[in-house]
Structure 1
Amino acid sequence: MSGLVALLDDVAAIAKVASASVDDVMGQAVKASSKAAGAVIDDAAVTPKYLTGFSADRELPIVWKIARGSLFNKLIILLPIAMLLAIFAPWAIPPLLMLGGLYLCFEGAEKIWHKINPADHHDEDLVKEKMTAAKLEESKVKGAVKTDFILSAEIMTIVLNAMPADRSLVLTALSLALAGVIITLAVYGVVALIVKADDVGLHLAARGDTGAIPAIGRGIVKAMPVVMQILVFVGTAAMIWVGGSIILHGLHELGWHAPYEFIHATAVTAGHAVPAYTGVIEWIVTALLDGIVGLVLGFAMIPVVTRVIGPIIAIIRPGSTDTA
């Protein structure tokens, strides 16, 4: 009997430790996720632009496809890579992030170039027009998941860096995985609300010709096309800004401090000029200068990608096109 009591005591002690570990994992995941808030916001702003032009009944299925791809990116690809890099090659993280940042700069600048010079993309637009709806949806989802991969890599790296250095590998991996799930659900939950807001507006507007609720519904319906256009703009700007920021931070970590320190000093000077809003001004100036750097790098990458990298990929993968 005493042996059974001792066994039950041991089980209770193990359960208590396990419970504390679960609480610790949850707490660290939530705390670390908050450190990546800026990148999470960028991710939420970027995604809706991939949903423009589709019928209402396809919006939520497309969001789910992208969310599923995002979870695959974070949990199946990036989590193991992050843990291996953290253990064996932490020095490789900044250069890899910088490559991802350069890709974001290119994609954002390429979207702007498309708007400025639509004739340069005439053949691409003809290809899109000839695509079936299903094929175009597949292409858009692939483009969204590809962009999500870069943003997810940044998010997971930020979360990993926010973890205490003395944590065990198991708890770190669990916290990182949980943070990835929390962030993905938050981002694509918000995206789903954004893209279905017009349907909510139509439902409210159908409740009558007069009254506050139908008026609100009609207001939502009228506002959503503008909101979606704003989100497309914000998403493009976010890619350029985040890409520039990643590259500047990477250069700083690798030992070239001048660009980062110049932007920091400029932001601090601008912030001190407006004492009541110092923090806001510093953030705006930093984001603006990071974005300028990202835009310059992105435009510089357009001829490199179209004339060098693109043809190489076409040789390696005949018939492959990127229409996202």
Structure 2
Amino acid sequence: MVEYTVKKLKRAFFSYFKSKGHEIIKSSSVIPSNDPSLLFTNSGMVQFKNILMGQETNLKRACSIQRCIRAGGKHNDLDDVGKDTYHHTFFEMMGNWSFGDYFKKEAIEYAWDFLVNILKLEQDRLYVTYYKDMDSESYNIWKEFLPSERIIEADKNDNFWEMGDTGPCGPCTEIHYDRIGGRDASRLVNQDDPDVIEIWNIVFIEYNRTPTGLEPLERKCIDTGIGFERLLSILNNVKSNYLTNCFIPIIKNIENMTDKKYEDKLTIEDTAFRAVSDHCRTIAVCLIDNVEFSNEGQGYVLRRILRRAVRYAHDILKMQRRGHRKFGKRNSKRNVA
């Protein structure tokens, strides 16, 4: 595989889906404008939620790379960041959407075409899951691309998406990638194995859940999500998101200011490297989107993130306090993917 930079992967994604008739939609703010129940934008579908809920629109096909934060509320990864090589408080989510236009066949074909023919991922490292109880259609479509032993049955917990107790919902199919290859990794799918990871979730929004059950929707929609940093790590053949050029410039600055070296291990020092580099990106994005430090809401979460970054930088990495401001200036907008 050819080495990919942040810009190269974004160009490839937008170019592909534009060629398939999708309108490129800019990332919305990390502060949701249409959902007061969320502290932060936590997925690509947030800015399209009103459309998915039935709002009329002339938009039929869309693609976006959305800035997301998961550091408060239902989706909160703050306490996990640093302890492994793949959790983040800030990340970007690539996605494509269809609003009453194409459906399962095209959504699956686009995903396969982009991964295998554009990005050149090895086919024998790919596995997919589908909801066995109500989505035989996806299974039959996937049989055109994969042998049956790599098309894996899954239950409602893993492969059925719901917005809430009522409202739009539907089955999903997920694409997983085996970082090691050359083996049968089907038993490791959906088992939290760090080497067999989900890279693409395709949701088929075809039902409306009511208090009495499921009703078919007249306007069926597609909602997909791909973790940008995770896919970038695969394309560059590294096992850690923190070894991609989303993070390496920040980590090198930490090394220069602490005389310590990042080794991508599960040590306390490497945990600190990951936490500080992640939190630096999150703080920068929040400030860009006009989040202010405060005692409540998003501002309170931002304070917690800053405190956690400073604590790791000072207590573990022994960064001198006078270096905190200099480090922050070096690692603001230019190191946000």
TM bin (shorter chain): under 0.3
Q: Which has the higher strand share?
A: 2
Normalization by structure 2: what TM-score?
0.24
**Structure (1/2) with the larger helix percentage:** 1
Question: With structure 1 as the length reference, what TM-score do the two structures score?
Answer: 0.24
Specify which structure has the bigger relative contact order, considering alpha-carbon pairs within 8 angstroms and separated by 6 or more residues: 1
Structure number with greater Rg is 1
